[in-house]
Amino acid sequence: MQRIRLRYTKRGRLRFTSHRDFQRAFERALRRAEVPMAYSAGFTPHPKVSYANAAPTGTGSEAEYLEIALTAPRDPQQLRALLDESLPAGLDIVDAVEARTSGLADRLTASVWELRLEGVELAEAERAAAQFLAADSVEVQRRTKNGLRTFDTRAAVVSLEALPAAADRPLDNACAILRLVVRHVTPAVRPDDVLSGLRAVADLAPPVPAAVTRLAQGLFDEESGTVTDPLAPDRDADTAAPPTAAVPADAKAPEGPA
């Protein structure tokens, strides 16, 4: 059984796609691309697809990950292209590697987020970020299926900086960018939780909802303070391993005797 790991995006209006909606779209893409999927056992078999740490509905992402299991080997890049063609624009398969290592989910320990704050001046965003980082703890509340829960957002935030928006924007429309690195902790601290924390400690309240995008997720490197590519270990292992005998995507099974 061959395992392929894929990185995909949620862009534009497709950021409002729920995880369940993406699952349905991806399974249709698997059928259109005629991918030789492995299936689970039991009365209702399902294709063996493992999703890892999906972004919340309403947020864009450049770094979502999943793993599929195949009954016949395929070239990862050809498979990537076929699946990308079978998905709507905005849900794009942008990378594929053969799984040569274990523990993909264990390598997703932090995310880099970008929050676009329309109507917020850069100086205001810088002041709010500094106050948030200076706090020992920033408690917020979120309603969960088990009721209202209070938790600390500050401990999960590794870095937070305010940046100017693109220079080609209209000068009469203020806009600041917040870029933050957040550890994946329990309970999960989401970008909207950090915005709630900024409102609590610095009275930062954007006039319109922030546009949120996940730029990267992976293993957090303590020395460099960066989030590393979670597929890199598979690429490194692939160079040292014998190649898998890939079957062309358009190959047909041999015909039996007449």
Asked whether residue 101 falls in the same domain as residue 120, the answer is no
Q: What is the mean pLDDT of each successive set of 10 residues along the chain, which is 258 residues long?
A: 96 94 96 95 91 94 97 97 96 97 94 97 97 97 85 96 79 87 94 96 95 97 93 89 53 42
Same domain as 41, residue 114 = no
Could you tell me the pTM of the whole model? Answer: 0.88
Domain boundary among 106, 121, 138: 106
Residues 216 and 128 in one domain: yes
- Greatest alpha-carbon pair distance for the chain in Å reads 78
Give residue 54's pLDDT. 93
Residue 233, in any domain of the structure:
no
Structure tokens at 214: 């996940």
Across the chain, mean pLDDT equals 90
Does one domain contain both 72 and 117?
no
Structure-derived torsion over alpha carbons of residues 196, 224, 219, 184, reported in degrees to the nearest 10: -20
Total of domains in the chain: 2
Of the candidates 106, 135, 157, which is a domain's last residue? Answer: 106
Collapsing DSSP to helix, strand or coil, 152 comes out as: strand
Q: Are residues 79 and 134 in the same domain?
A: no
The pLDDT, as a whole number, for residue 147 is 83
The predicted structure's pLDDT at residue 2: 96
Same domain membership, residue 133 and residue 86: no
Whole-number pLDDT of residue 144? 80
**CATH number, domain containing residue 79:** 3.30.70.580
Predicted local distance difference test score (pLDDT) of residue 251: 47
Look at residue 223 and tell me if it is in a domain.
Answer: yes
Instruction: Give the dihedral sign, CA 11/13/15/19.
Output: negative
Enter the DSSP assignment of 15: G
3-state DSSP of 49-117? EEEECCCCCCCEEEEEEEEEEECCCCCHHHHHHHHHHCCCCCCCEEEEEECCCCCCHHHCCEEEEEEEE
If asked whether residues 82 and 164 sit together in one domain, one would say no
Residue 249 covered by a domain: no
- 70/163 same-domain check: no
Q: Contact at 8 Å (CB) between 107 and 217? A: no
Q: Is 34 helix (H, G, I), strand (E, B) or coil?
A: coil
| Rounded Cα distance, 105 and 230, in Å | 9
Regarding whether 212 and 128 lie in a shared domain, the answer is yes
Residue that finishes a domain, picked among 82, 106, 130:
106
Burial class (CB in 10 A: 0-12, 13-18, 19+), 219: middle
Residue 171 and residue 119 in contact, taking contact as beta carbons nearer than 8 Å: no
pLDDT at 255: 44
Which residues does 248 contact at the CB level (< 8 Å), separation at least 6?
75, 78
Residue 194 lies in a domain: yes
pLDDT 10s digits, 155-212: 999 999 999 987 655 556 899 999 999 999 988 999 999 999 999 999 999 999 999 9
Both 100 and 121 in one domain: the answer is no
Specify the pLDDT at position 136: 96
Mark whether 126 and 168 lie in a shared domain.
yes
Neighbours of 85 (CB within 10 A): 11
- Using DSSP bridges, classify how beta strands 2-10 and 147-152 pair: parallel, antiparallel or unpaired: unpaired
Residue 241 placed within a domain: no
Q: Please choose, from the candidates 141, 225, 239, 213, the residue with its C-alpha nearest in 3D space to the C-alpha of residue 183.
A: 225
Q: Domain range for residue 16?
A: 2-106
pLDDT of residue 88: 95
User: Do 18 and 123 reside in the same domain of the chain?
Assistant: no
The secondary structure of 122-137 as a DSSP string is HHHHHHHHHHHHH-S-
Looking up residue 168, the CATH number of its domain turns out to be 3.30.70
Q: Would you say residue 58 lies in a domain?
A: yes
In a domain, 256, yes or no: no
